[in-house]
Structure formats: structure tokens, C-alpha cells
Structure 1
Amino acid sequence: MIRGMTVLLPNRRTPRTFGVEEEVVLLEPGTLAPVDVADAVIEEIADLDASYGWVGHEFLRAQLEFSSPVLDDAAAADRVVREWRRVLAGAAGRRGLIAASIGTPHGPGVSSVAEGERYERFVAELGAVRPDHSIQGLHVHVGIASREEGVLIMRALRPWLAPLIALTANSPCFAGRDTGFASWRTLVGRRFTTASVPPDFADAADYERRVAALVGLGTTLDSGAIAWMMRLAERYPTVELRVFDAQLSADDTIEAALLTRALVETAAAGALPHDPAAAHAEHLDAAVWHAARHGLDAGLVDPTTASVAPAWDVIERMLEAASPALDAAGDRGRVESLLERTRAAGNGAARQRAALAEGLPALERLLRTSFADSPVVE
């Protein structure tokens, strides 16, 4: 969007619905190594009221995944995300563990793989990549009218994925060391058979045809294993953004989801333009790597010019483009809070590094206090 441009959004009676999926890792205090007790924790909290969402297994025995119900607004998201985190924090605390919403675990050790034939096939394909596959993400689903609309939205959003990575990066450490990256999870994800920014599809038929051709190749066991940072969901009428590291706090998760919904609405309205050069495959790939490496600590590729600009100029331009949709949904204040908090304290990666500079106990405190509003052992 060019500064000063007036944007008219479609006359939608209600904002789009959305949903979130959060992946969480259970860590040992003192080492912050993963602990393989997800099965027991899931069994304990399985009676979480279904109106709050569903909790299930993930790839590793130290991981859990929460899936929200369909959400209409920020208040609904607040209710379900905070309740799920409160319940899990209690279950983890009773075991003397930390529930951490981070893109990669800080501590040493490799979690074992959860049971299941699909996971076994996935491990067989990963080979030597397997020990590094200890990653947690936030996935945001936003409702779409059709898969044709979904492809149009994806085409418009492709150049904006790198700025979203920079804003929400939260995986600076892995296996007991600082990786030097703001989002190490992004780098690990680039090793899959399908990875990074999705291709530029012509239409829904092109999307379906090309996805079908990938099934059976490497880690793409089926269409549900497509690992691009953005895809059309198979089971729901949504576009799914998988670009985000798991987020430290409930506010971080909810506000990233609200920004995503606004960007999807803006893209659907044709009000999220980009310079054609910014959509070139090699340019997108380099922009993603750069954002994952530096986060907000260096320039970012400005999608409207395809050139590097100060990081916060790019983020502000993204907010400006999404502002009409944010205003229509009543979400501007919440998303501005995300930006203000990030300006003051940094993204999750910066906050983790600042805590770690004081020592491992400080990082533990950050993870505990960020995860739930009241992470008290019940």
C-alpha cells in the first residue's frame, strides 16, 4: 500500500472467523531440556471443556498441540487461549516442569518421537535432520469464501511473510547454544521437502494439481504434510499461516492472529500490493532468510519497493495497510499493543536473549511468567 492511499474494503457484515493452533514444549528446570511426559499431561487435561478447544499429541513426546474452536473476535480468543494455558501451566507445574511456548527449546537433549505409523514414516524420511526437528509453531487459520479466494490471498501475502517472521521471531537458541538467528525454527523448517514461501499459484486448480504432484515425495506423506509457511487447509475453509514461531505470551499469540486476520481481509480486498520484484522466488527466499537471521535488528525487504528499508518502517507500512480491516473488526488497539510492546522489549527472540544474559534462572522466569497469566500450581 502506498502511503496516503484510501482503501475500501468489501461490505462484510461480520469480520472473518479465525482459529489458532499452539504447539508447546515441556522443559526441565535447571537445564531447559525437553521432558517426554506429554502423554501423561494430555491424559490429565483431556477433560478441558471442549468449548475452549482441543489438546493433542504432536511429533515429539515432549510436545502438545492446542487447537482452538472457531473464533469470532478478540474476546473469544482471550477466553480460550488463556484458559488452555492456565490448565497446562498447572499440569506442568504439578510435575515440576515448565510449559514453554517457544519456537525451539534452549536446553540439550532430544525428545523421543510419539507413537504412530505416520510419525514413523516421517522419521524414516528425515534421516540426519531428525535430531534438529524439535520445533514449535503458531498456526493461524482465517476463514475464506472459497479456495479461489484463498489462492488470491496467498498471492498477495507472499511478500509479507518475511516481515511477519521478523515481528514474531521467538527461537534464538537450540541445543544449549545461541544460534545467532532470531528464528532458528524457520531455518530448520527450510529442510523439509516443501518449505518456506509457497509458489505463486495461478488459481485453485493449479494449487490442487501441484500439491497432488508432491504427495509421496520425501516428507510430503500426504496433502496434510505440506509444510509451506502458508497453505490452504484441507479440512477447513481457511487459509492457514504457519509462518510464526510459537509465541511467549497469550497476548503475543492473540494479537498475531488478529493482525493475520486483518492482513487476509486486506489481501482479499486487493489492498495489499507489492512491487513485482518482491514476489520473485529468489527474492522471497532471501528476504525470509534475512528476517529469520536478524529479526527486527536490521533492515527488512519492503514489499512495496522490493528494497531494504528500516525494519520498523516496513512493520508500520504493514500496519497502515491493515488498518481499515483492523478498524472494521475493532482490533486496532490490540495490534498496536503488540507493536508497542515489541518496540519496547523486542520480539520473543530479543526477550529471551535479554533474560539469558542475566543467567538461565532469568530465562526460566521469563518462560514461566509469559506462558500464563497466573501460572500457579493447583
Structure 2
Amino acid sequence: MTTFGIEEEFIFLDPRTLTPSDVGAAVHDELLGRARESRFVSHEFLASQIERSSPVFSTAGQAEADLVTFRTRLAAQAERRGVVAAAVGTPFMCAGWPSVTDSERYHQVEAEFRGLVTDHLINGTHVHVAVPSRDAGVAVLNRVRTWLPTLLALTGNSPYWHGADTGFASWRAMHMRRWSSGGCPPPFADADDYDRRLARLVGVAGTYDTRTVWWNARLAEGHPTVEIRVADAQLDAGQALLVAALSRALVVTSLAEAERGDPPPSVDPELLDAGLWHAARDGLGGDLLDPVALELRGSREVVHRLLVHVGDALDAEGDHERVRSLLDRLHADGTGAERQRAAVRRGGVAALGELYRTALVARA
């Protein structure tokens, strides 16, 4: 089986106002080393955040057990401090300049990106999938890039900003567009081409090292993986597991296509960029860019096309039934953005905070 791992970013919020609460360092110190599931906890950019990198998984079952266990521990630590741990792309409410975690790297980001920092209260889900080489990884990037809008539509979970509904499923994705190296990666000839073009970006537009190239999919630094990072943080473990399983299937499918010599799909970059914007706005609530037909189609039709495209890989990894079940639940309950809006309609800020608490520890 192809191995994978998941990075999740969480934000701590005041339970009454759902504004960020700067307890990330205290929770980090308490969790670190306490259990196997907590070994890979790290600080994030803001003092109100925490990041957790999972162990390497072979099966979705392993991932499910691990994610639920860690999220349960995280929720308990948040409750001890009188805050809510939320897996959302953006907080419901924020005000003023956020507190940056006290580290040399994060202060350099703050210095380079200046006024953008005030809006950088964003949290994502990043999926790492193993590849046999960097050249193979580039072949994967050239193919998965066309499906990034579909993954974004499935995972939009940030409809609110400053207490107002933005009208977007993923306001986080719109914030990311303002940074100098976001969006879909361009196509590359091979790994040498990738490395050469990445190196040329260093020093330009705030990109002070290769890790600050924030494409929605990239080769990981220091790991033999492709990192797919288009998704918002996911309300519950099931939604995180869904994007992980689909990401793995896309990578496995892409590797098989490259081995057969199938050329990567050709999608005009401006169309792909517009498709990402469209997915960030409408999520699954309207049409999506069909990367095969190269036109807007109904979201369910495009998601079905994705399932057909990766069907053999889902079978090979033993994920087909689980993915279909998680997709059925997603269509029934709504994306994270839709569930957040439903909670606010039902009971305002209090109901939204309760959704954050209960979803965090729900089983996949």
C-alpha cells in the first residue's frame, strides 16, 4: 500500500465570542510527548494555533483511529483552559493584529509579508503521499493539479470572517491568493526543472526559502512525498480522512498514468486559476470546473468523474467503500461551510461553538 500522512492545523477560540485565544504554546507544551499521538505536535504561525503531523499510515483505518484519539486529547486540553479547539479554515471573529508565535522563522514571515499578517488567521489540512522519486513526484504534480479545484470544493470550511458570512465556502482560499506563491503549481519538465524554478523564487516577493513557496500542491521538503495542501482544516476526522483518501488515490492514479506514458492533461492556467476561485466561492453548492470537459458542470457530476478517475486506486488501497460512505455523509450533512452556516441559523454563536466542540471529537 502507498503510505500517507496528514498535517492538521487547529485554532483556539474564546467560547463566548469565538475570537482567537493565545494558548497555543501552553497546549503544545502539555501535549508534547504525552502519548504516541502527540509526538508530532508543533507550534504554528500564530500564538492561537497548533499544528499536528500524524505518523505515517498504510491504511485508512489506522488514520481514523489516530486522528480521533489525538483530537480527543486536544479537546480535553482546550477545555482545561476554558477555550474551544476548532478545526476551521478561518475563525468566526477576529480583531486587531494577531499575536505571532515567538520564533525567528515566524518573525521573519511577519517582516516579509507585513500587512498581510493581520488576515493570516488560517488553518489547513495537508496530505503527504509517498512517491518513489522526485521525478515521479513532479509527474504526479503535473496531473493532480487539475483536480485541486474539486478537492477545494469538497473541503471548504471557512465561510465567516469578522463575524459576517463572506458568501464563500472557503474564505481561507481567498486569503491564500494574496500571498506571493499560492494557487496551483505550474507544470514542470522534471525534478531538475522543479528545483531550478523553485530556487529562482527564493528572495523574491517575500519568499525567503523554498518552504515559503505555498502552492496548493508541492514536493515536500525533507520527505519523499507529494504534499497536497488545498483543503481547509476539517471540522471532523471523517472529512479529514476523506480528503486524505482521495489525495492518495489521485497520487496513485497519477503514478500509474506516468508509468504507462500517458501525457498529463492540458488545462490553461488561467482556467485552472478561475476554477479554484469558483470552488472557493461555491463549494459543492453550484457548478465546478470539470477538468476533462474544461467547462462548468454540476458539482455532483464532477465529483463522480473524480471517483471514476481514481476508482482503480481506491480499490487497490482498500478505500473505495469508505470513500463512498464518507461522500454520502458529506452530501447529506453538507460541507464544513454548510454545517457552520446551519449552526448559526439554528442558534447563533453558541450553536457554532457547540458544533466546533462536538465535531472535533466525532468518529469518522
TM-score bracket for the superposition, by shorter chain length? over 0.9
Secondary structure in structure 1 of the residue aligned to 2:310:
helix
Which whole-Å CA distance do the structure 1 matches of 2:60 and 2:214 have between them? 27
Which whole-Å CA distance do the structure 1 matches of 2:171 and 2:245 have between them? 24
Change (3 A) 1:47 1:53: closer
1:307 aligns with 2:295: yes
Q: Which residue of 2 aligns with 1:180?
A: 167
Q: Which residue of 1 aligns with 2:64?
A: 78
8 Å contact kept, 1:212–1:223: yes
Q: Which residue of 2 aligns with 1:362?
A: 351
* Aligned residue among 295, 308, 316 for 1:320: 308
8 Å contact kept, 1:56–1:66: yes
1:154 aligns with 2:141: yes
- What displacement does 1:269 show? 1.1
**Which piece of structure 1 moves more, 237-246 or 260-269?**
260-269
5 Å-filtered alignment, 1:5-20, equals 15-20=1-6
Which whole-Å CA distance do the structure 2 matches of 1:157 and 1:44 have between them? 38
Which whole-Å CA distance do the structure 2 matches of 1:141 and 1:112 have between them? 29
**Which piece of structure 1 moves more, 58-67 or 177-186?**
177-186
Number of residue pairs aligned between Structure 1 and Structure 2 = 358
Q: Which residue of 1 aligns with 2:281?
A: 293
- What displacement does 1:97 show? 0.9
- What displacement does 1:57 show? 0.3
- What displacement does 1:200 show? 0.8
Change (3 A) 1:53 1:101: same
Q: Structure 1: which 5+ runs fail to align? A: 1-14
8 Å contact kept, 2:146–2:265: no
> What is the percent sequence identity of the aligned residues?
47
1:212 aligns with 2:214: no
TM-score normalised over the length of structure 1: 0.92
CA-to-partner distance for each residue in 1:74-94, whole Å, 9 max, x for gaps? 121122211111111000011
Which whole-Å CA distance do the structure 1 matches of 2:38 and 2:319 have between them? 21
- What displacement does 1:164 show? 0.6
After TM superposition, the runs of 4+ consecutive aligned structure 1 residues lying more than 3 A away are 50-53, 271-275
Q: Which residue of 1 aligns with 2:10?
A: 24
Secondary structure in structure 2 of the residue aligned to 1:23:
strand
1:168 aligns with 2:155: yes
What root-mean-square deviation, in Å, do the aligned CA atoms of Structure 1 and Structure 2 show?
1.5
1:264 aligns with 2:268: no
Secondary structure in structure 1 of the residue aligned to 2:157:
coil
5 Å-filtered alignment, 1:1-378, equals 15-50=1-36, 53-110=39-96, 111-270=98-257, 276=266, 279-358=267-346, 359-373=348-362
8 Å contact kept, 1:274–1:305: no
- What displacement does 1:275 show? 5.5
